[in-house]
């Protein structure tokens, strides 16, 4: 090896080491290695210089309006300190919000009155609606009582679970063969495997996958994200088959910007994928025009209710991605959207329920009402 080669190899290894130190600390992009990187300034490539700039700016915090907007959106979807509505000061704003989105339990008679003569079809989101939000996404179990309530509801009304989870994963949590399942934010739909007789319209086993061609790229990005985020304590990447979730819930908030920046950098390489925000989660999915709203329309059509005025869909959900379904209902003037939330949120839903235990009560009342 010539002297020049030895120097080049040494510089290369020092740059590598410095970047590794910078990337491996608590927030992935720490300032610790900045002096070493700065000293090597003349030897840095363009992308390494960009990285240095980001580290100097505080771990990517200043690296773009996009990242800040994602973080703001995640925060507003799932506020860190959830105050009960009762603890929010009685303001005009709060009164007006409750007036426009009253409790579905308090307004139960009005809702059932509105549905008279029509077929109720139930659409239920999973996380935060049927199961409480917990730190570990693999342990988001629903209670036995909730499962029994959903089972009873499905005896009387066609019922679908519409979730951001993969269909197989959400099925493992719910374990009711008589339901429709729309997994991966509605990109993977299957009808019941156990036949029920809601007026003999069943289309059981209907299978619709809107984004099959994206499977290889989603798989690839999953692997890249696993690698890129593994040094961020608490970060978790979940493979939901046609989409991915990057979880922030167990990540120190000081590190959110650095993690979101990492996601942005990966996503930049994949223009056919887009990003949406949920409750302390960034979700990566194909750019196709398909969402929970489209899934709702698809399921209604499968049940024979396309353009029908004899149907009354009820969609219950807690997250930003459920807004697509709330909008479909609002725009069509059919049925109702119910937001599960203890705090005020911008929503197209007409009613609210505070938490999964209120969802369970609402489902129970629907069953009792049907039996009257
Ligand atoms: O459409 P959903 O059924 O509501 O799924 C949306 C995401 O839900 C899950 O994440 C959320 O719940 C987790 C468990 O309570 C919680 O740890 C996380 O912070 C929440 O964002 C699920 O893990 C995601 O894959 C779904 O996209």
* 312 and 202 co-located in one domain: yes
Return d(Cα 276, Cα 167) in angstroms, integer: 19
Q: Are residues 112 and 40 in the same domain?
A: no
Q: What is the pLDDT of residue 86?
A: 45
CATH code for the domain in which residue 160 is found: 3.40.50.1000
Between the CA of 372 and the centroid of ligand 1 the distance, in Å, is: 36
Cβ(140) – ligand 1 distance below 6 Å: yes
Task: Report how far residue 81's alpha carbon sits from residue 87's, in angstroms, rounded to the nearest whole number.
Answer: 12
Task: Cite the DSSP H helix spans in 185-231.
Answer: 215-229
Please give the Cα distance from 287 to 243 (Å, whole number).
Answer: 11
User: Cβ(351)–Cβ(341) under 8 Å?
Assistant: no
138 CA distance to ligand 1 centroid (A)? 9
Instruction: Give yes or no for residue 25 CB within 6 A of ligand 1.
Output: no
Q: Are 8 and 132 found together in one domain?
A: no
Q: Distance from the CA of 205 to the center of ligand 1, in angstroms?
A: 25
Q: Is residue 356 part of a domain?
A: yes
Q: How far is the CA of 154 from the centre of ligand 1 (A)?
A: 23
Nearest Cα residue to atom 23 of ligand 1:
137
Co-location of 329 and 199 in the same domain: yes
Number of domains observed in the structure of the chain: 2
Pocket lining: 186 vs ligand 1, CB cutoff 6 Å: no
CA 56 to CA 68: how far, in whole Å? 17
CB 160 within 8 A of CB 167: no
In 3D, which of 328, 366, 321 has the Cα closest to residue 350?
Answer: 328
Whole-angstrom CA distances from 66 to 100, 221, 264, 268 are 31, 20, 9, 12
- Concatenated DSSP letters for 269-291? T-TTEEEEEETTEEEEEESSS--
Is 176 in the same domain as 117? yes
Q: Does one domain contain both 38 and 119?
A: no
Q: Which residues contact 362 (CB under 8 A, 6 or more apart)?
A: 104, 105, 108, 316, 338, 353
Give the model's pLDDT for residue 49. Answer: 63
Residue 237, domain member (yes or no): no
Domain interval for residue 46: 3-59
Cβ–ligand 1 contact at 152 (below 6 Å): no
- How far is 34 from 133, CA to CA, in rounded Å? 38
307 and 173, same structural domain? yes
| The ligand 1 atom nearest the CA atom of 161 | 3
Cα(242)–Cα(215) distance, integer angstroms: 6
> Do 110 and 14 share a domain, yes or no?
no
- The structure tokens 């399942």 sit at 181
Domain assignment of residue 201, yes or no: yes
pTM for the complete prediction?
Answer: 0.83
Q: 163: Cβ below 6 Å to ligand 1?
A: yes
Please report the atom of ligand 1 found closest to the CA of residue 170.
3
Tell me how far the alpha carbon of residue 182 lies from the centroid of ligand 1, in angstroms. Answer: 15
Find out whether the beta carbon of 320 lies less than 6 Å from any atom of ligand 1.
no
What is the set of active-site residues? 125
Do 40 and 149 belong together in one domain?
no
Helices 356-371 and 144-156 cross at an angle (nearest 10°) of: 40
| Residues 195 and 47 placed together within one structural domain of the fold | no
Place of tokens 């079809």: 121
| Atom 26 of ligand 1, residue of closest alpha carbon | 164
**Angle CA(311)–CA(314)–CA(317) in degrees, nearest 5?**
155
Mean pLDDT per 10-residue interval, the chain, length 372 residues: 56 54 52 53 62 52 76 81 48 80 97 96 98 97 98 96 97 96 96 63 68 97 97 96 98 94 95 95 96 96 90 97 97 96 94 98 96 73
* CB of residue 236 inside a 6 A radius of ligand 1: no
Q: 24 with 173, same domain?
A: no
One domain for residues 134 and 23: no
Reported ipTM: the value is 0.99
Residue 172 domain-assigned?
A: yes
């Amino acid at each position: 090896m010539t002297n020049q080669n030895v120097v080049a190899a040494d510089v290369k290894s020092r740059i590598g080491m410095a970047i590794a130190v910078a990337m491996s600390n608590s927030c992935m992009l720490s300032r610790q290695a900045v002096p070493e990187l700065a000293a090597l300034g003349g030897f840095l490539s363009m992308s390494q210089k960009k990285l240095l700039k980001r580290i100097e700016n505080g771990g990517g915090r200043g690296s773009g309006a996009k990242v800040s907007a994602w973080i703001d959106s995640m925060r507003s979807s799932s506020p860190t300190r959830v105050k009960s509505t009762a603890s929010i000061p009685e303001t005009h704003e709060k009164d007006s919000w409750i007036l426009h989105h009253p409790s579905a339990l308090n307004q139960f008679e009005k809702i059932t009155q509105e549905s008279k003569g029509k077929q109720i079809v139930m659409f239920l989101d999973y996380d935060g609606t049927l199961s409480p939000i917990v730190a570990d996404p693999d342990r988001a179990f629903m209670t036995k009582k909730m499962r029994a309530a959903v089972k009873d509801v499905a005896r009387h009304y066609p019922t679908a679970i519409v979730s951001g989870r993969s269909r197989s994963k959400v099925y493992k949590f719910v374990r009711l063969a008589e339901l429709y399942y729309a997994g991966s934010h509605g990109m993977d739909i299957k009808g019941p495997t156990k036949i029920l007789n809601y007026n003999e319209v069943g289309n059981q086993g209907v299978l619709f996958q809107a984004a099959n061609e994206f499977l290889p790229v989603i798989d690839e990005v999953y692997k890249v994200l696993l690698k890129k985020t593994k040094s961020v304590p608490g970060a978790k990447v979940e493979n939901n088959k046609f989409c991915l979730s990057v979880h922030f819930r167990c990540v120190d908030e000081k590190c959110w910007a650095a993690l979101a920046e990492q996601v942005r950098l990966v996503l930049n390489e994949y223009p056919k994928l887009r990003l949406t925000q949920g409750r302390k989660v960034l979700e990566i999915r194909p750019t196709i025009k398909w969402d929970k709203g489209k899934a709702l329309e698809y399921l209604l059509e499968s049940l024979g209710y396309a353009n029908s005025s004899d149907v009354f869909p009820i969609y219950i959900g807690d997250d930003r991605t459920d807004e697509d379904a709330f909008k479909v209902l609002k725009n069509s003037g059919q049925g109702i959207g119910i937001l599960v939330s203890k705090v005020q949120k911008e929503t197209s839903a007409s009613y609210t329920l505070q938490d999964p235990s209120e969802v369970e009560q609402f489902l129970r009342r629907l069953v009792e009402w049907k039996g009257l």
